[in-house]
């Protein structure tokens, strides 16, 4: 394993974050803070508790997941798309490094950015609502697993996209709606039985449910199922990435 190559790609991608800290960190934190102000303080104070949890606290895991998913996809997608757009990807592909090392560098940097952002948002949440974490180790595990999985998805999107417009299609039109409909702001037990069944086909439900369990020990689906579904999605993404590198899809031509 050429760790110098991994470190070079990783360091370059992380340096881009600090050059655009206003867009990469401050803007998402401010946007999420507005959710806490509106839903946590203004609206949340007038809503009944959900499973004994105040509404403002209840939505914290969902809001963290909303930022984590969108930022993981966007960071990884842009990270690999821009070298393709500028033509510098051929320098990376011709270097004496393996595809695994390329993947570790780009996906590792994107996941790191998202995890740091998620932790910052969690710290910000404590300023607005009362928050407790029943299982901090499980919380970190869900945080890392989700960031890595959706960074892999973003990596795939960055290779598939052939324009900046397509780069934004999946995060804006698919990931964000699925997160809103995945129990981020409510428990799916509040839905009619038919819609509860339909909602279970949304993969984000399992992420939000497992992540919320690590905070309050309440979940819409079993924790083991949440972990299993996340692992299955990660395996699917890894399989697609393997196929991309094996065939050179949109990398070598």
What does the pLDDT look like over 217-249, one tens digit per residue? Answer: 998 899 999 999 989 999 999 999 999 988 888
pLDDT value at 23 more than 80: no
Residue 218 token pair: 């309440």
> Which residues, including other chains, have CB under 8 Å from residue 71's CB and lie 6 or more apart?
28, 113, 114, 117
What are the pLDDT digits (tens) for 171-184?
888 888 888 888 88
* Mean pLDDT on 131-154: 93
pLDDT value at 20 more than 80: no
* Global confidence as pTM: 0.90
* Mean pLDDT on 103-121: 93
The whole-angstrom distance between residue 128's C-alpha and the CA centroid of its chain comes to 23
Give domain limits for the chain.
Answer: 3-247
pLDDT at res. 42: 65
């Amino acid at each position: 394993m050429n760790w110098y190559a991994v470190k070079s790609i990783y360091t370059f991608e992380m340096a881009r974050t600090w050059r655009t800290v206003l867009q990469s960190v401050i803007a998402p934190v401010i946007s999420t803070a507005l959710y806490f102000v509106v839903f946590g303080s203004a609206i949340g104070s007038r809503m009944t508790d959900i499973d004994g949890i105040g509404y403002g606290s209840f939505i914290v895991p969902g809001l963290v997941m909303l930022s984590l998913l969108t930022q993981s996809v966007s960071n990884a997608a842009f990270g690999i798309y821009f070298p393709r757009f500028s033509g510098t990807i051929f320098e990376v592909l011709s270097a004496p490094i393996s595809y695994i090392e390329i993947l570790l560098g780009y996906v590792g940097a994107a996941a790191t950015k998202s995890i740091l952002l998620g932790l910052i948002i969690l710290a910000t949440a404590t300023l607005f609502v009362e928050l407790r974490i029943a299982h901090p180790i499980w919380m970190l595990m869900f945080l890392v697993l989700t960031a890595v999985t959706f960074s892999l998805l973003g990596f795939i999107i960055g290779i598939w996209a052939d324009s900046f417009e397509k780069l934004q299609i999946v995060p804006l039109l698919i990931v964000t709606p699925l997160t809103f409909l995945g129990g981020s702001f409510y428990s799916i037990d509040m839905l009619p039985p038919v819609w509860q069944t339909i909602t279970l086909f949304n993969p984000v439900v399992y992420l939000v449910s497992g992540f919320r369990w690590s905070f309050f020990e309440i979940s819409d689906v079993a924790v083991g199922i949440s972990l299993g579904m996340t692992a299955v999605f990660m395996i699917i993404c890894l399989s697609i990435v393997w196929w991309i590198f094996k065939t050179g899809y949109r990398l070598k031509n």
